[in-house]
Chain A
């Protein structure tokens, strides 16, 4: 198992190298650049050249890339052209908000999606199943930002049930420990802060969870249907086992194999969805940071964020592969 993990981690290195080169090249081939973005109307060729010289953008692209790699190895991703702050410390500040949002969204999607998919399969063709199939179709099809605005308008603005934006209400005195607002409140025993943070989380998390939830429900349903017809389930029934044993040990364990792959793939989409969701709910996480960086052509920020996204994606899928080996002996032992 350890060798498997190490081998997989080593495979990541060439992937990241290639990806970083592509990102580096693509960003610089876009029209405009940090200088024009920063200067706006006041841009003159002289001032643009001056800024570019300051940022090292006047050098050949391969030289820039080589210098970039050298700095990255020592942990320096450069400073943001917008704020002048080191990119890494920016990320460290904004990251917890996005992780909090994504983790809660993924939990909603998984904890709701698997049971719902299972029930839909079990009551195939009945009203519950039909409702689930239609619901998931809508869930996949509705754009994230549209759903976000809809929820915000009805639940937060019209009904005033939940706060419409931000992570904490003004006037709440919360101590920052880890950056995860809900967790901080629990750690410092400021339970009112925790609750307030949780209330702020609901709408964005539900918005972000919609698509992964719909996908997980569908995959679980299809997978359970497949397994329910399998010969070994017939064997389990022929043994006269209790229904709960047949369901958990024989049906679900086999049905979850494709579901775990899907969850891994959803994490990538979750990062993309977080950008839109954070925008709608003024969340102030990595998504906001990324959106600003794209508008203002903040190369160092974009490079760091895109690479970080890739690393997260790779790590999550490695975890999925490991979980696969845990669930399926055929993978583990061959």
Chain B
């Protein structure tokens, strides 16, 4: 980590409160840093808190029924302390986001061009003509052919890959310092997926934008991210450099995730390794390890004492009984 990270998340906690229902702790003390130009991954299964974390950074969670605590600093500015309008100034300009489903994430009744120019005009103070020219530029840069003609087309007239490219163009329109991509390729087929990921990598490298990749797909993480955070039940259970994490996964959850990836060279008929059970809701970490009920290496301590996060040799680990370093 560099001495002055671009994004500094400390002890982020997001609790959903509903009347008549127990609170749901979606994110439970997550801390991580992103340096300028760095690419990191937040990985985990559905409900592990990865999307809620990103929405909290964007301050896009609803104000009512959601309690956010901790600290989110962007360039030394505490985002959680900003007023709504101050945050709106930063959103789309300093920090922007790409979402999962490109069709539903674009407004169906207004042309693509306007959806790009509105950000330029809002944050970069451009005039109409200037913004249109810049939009052509942007569409060209994300690899959309005939960009000038595309300005007047509507989302439903574009293919899935083109729509995601358009969304990327929107997100990068103001050259943000930080880009959050929440499952950006889940809705796309595999070849398009590879193109989009390649495009994202190139763009962040060119512009020096830091990228937080949120995904459940370890393949994407392996290809792109320098540092990988594995989330379980709203907490980071393991964090390490990509090669170390994939080479020697220490947390049983990470280990299980990697083992569950089907391999082309496995003998036919072999059963896929799966992690049994599913994640518990509400207060998973209260008095035990949240992963304990599903863990193959569970000890009695795991059910009684919540494991602390320990850092050694650049690896963060939250486990009483980690997989031995020599296991794989």
Contact = CB atoms under 8 A, between A and B. Distances in A.
Interface in B104-148: 104-111, 118-119, 122-123
B18 interface: no
A235 B105 contact: yes
A333 B104 CA distance: 18
B154 A329 contact: yes
A240 interface: yes
Interface stretch (A17-25, A153-161, A241-249, A263-271): A241-249
Contacts of B119: 239-241
A141 interface: no
Given A232-B107, A330-B108, A238 B60 contact: yes
A41 interface: no
A239 B154 contact: no
Given A231-B99, A249-B118, A329-B154, A239 B105 contact: no
Interface in A229-263: 230-232, 234-243, 245, 249-250, 253-254, 257
Given A231-B99, A329-B156, A333-B154, A236 B109 contact: no
A226 interface: no
Contact of B99 (A234, A240, A328): A234
A250 B109 CA distance: 8
A187 B171 CA distance: 55
Contacts of A235: 99, 105-107, 167, 170
Interface in B155-203: 156-157, 167, 170
Interface in B58-95: 58, 60, 87-93
A115 B278 CA distance: 45
B97 interface: yes
A237 B111 CA distance: 18
A contact patch SS = helix
B118 A241 contact: yes
Interface in A295-330: 327-330
A260 to B, nearest CB: 12
B101 A240 contact: no
User: Among A230, A232, A239, A333, which residue has the most Cβ atoms of chain B within 10 A?
Assistant: A239
B110 A238 contact: no
A240 B154 contact: no
Nearest to A125: B64
Interface in B202-232: none
Given A231-B101, A245-B118, A330-B156, A238 B106 contact: no
A232 B156 contact: no
B89 A232 contact: no
Nearest to A257: B109
Interface residues of B, number: 30
B96 interface: yes
A187 to B, nearest CB: 39
A241 B119 CA distance: 7
B91 A230 contact: no
A330 B154 contact: yes
Interface string B261-277: 00000000000000000
A41 to B, nearest CB: 65
B107 A236 contact: yes
A237 B88 CA distance: 8
A240 B123 contact: yes
Contact of B105 (A232, A240, A257, A328): A232
Given A232-B105, A234-B60, A237-B60, A242 B110 contact: no
Contact of B122 (A231, A232, A241, A253): A241
A227 B105 CA distance: 12
A231 B105 CA distance: 5
A249 B122 CA distance: 14
A252 B290 CA distance: 44
Given A249-B110, A249-B118, A327-B109, A237 B91 contact: yes
A223 to B, nearest CB: 13
B213 to A, nearest CB: 16
Contacts of B106: 232, 235
A241 B107 contact: no
B109 A254 contact: yes
A250 B97 CA distance: 18
User: Among A234, A243, A253, A329, which residue has the most Cβ atoms of chain B within 10 A?
Assistant: A329
Contacts of A242: 88, 122
A240 B93 contact: yes
Contact of B88 (A240, A254, A329): A240
Contacts of B90: 240
Contact of A238 (B92, B104, B109): B92
A159 B227 CA distance: 77
A141 B260 CA distance: 59
A175 to B, nearest CB: 46
A328 B122 contact: no
Contacts of B96: 238-239
Contacts of A234: 60, 99, 105
B99 to A, nearest CB: 6
A253 B109 contact: yes
Contacts of A253: 107, 109-110
A257 B170 CA distance: 26
B123 A329 contact: no
A132 B106 CA distance: 31
- 6 A-B pairs with the lowest CB-CB distances in the bound complex, closest first: A240-B91, A240-B92, A239-B92, A231-B104, A329-B154, A232-B107
Interface of A: 230-232, 234-243, 245, 249-250, 253-254, 257, 327-330, 333
